[in-house]
Amino acid sequence: MPRSGSEISWKRLLWYVLAGSRGGPNRGRIINLLRREPYNINKLAEALHVHYRVAEHHIRALEKNHLVSSAGEKYGKLYFLSPEMEAHLPLFDEIWAQISPRVEREVKR
């Protein structure tokens, strides 16, 4: 089935965000957490077992690329998947299935 130009752009964006840097695995894990429920930065850091600043860095990258959105202010700010990201979850799942075996090996270290 041919893909639309928008879908191709999203596929490229997701590959960039998930596989284009060392932080990609954490970003993918954040997307998977947010698809179930909203989180604040502190709860994301706890769930990922990373420092608060690391979680904050990754959420900013996701927000910059329009994959997540937020509501609230300061420490009460909650993060959600953006409507665009929700619409492209099947594409994320396709890419994540290719990346996740490597991610699981890295997380276990």
At 41-71, the pLDDT tens digits run 999 999 999 999 999 999 999 999 999 999 9
- The answer for residues whose C-beta is within 8 angstroms of residue 61's C-beta and 6 or more apart is 17, 23, 27
pTM, two decimal places: 0.87
At 70-79, the pLDDT tens digits run 999 887 899 9
Dihedral (CA of 47, 54, 86, 18) sign: negative
Rounded to 5 degrees, φ, ψ at 17 are: -70, -35
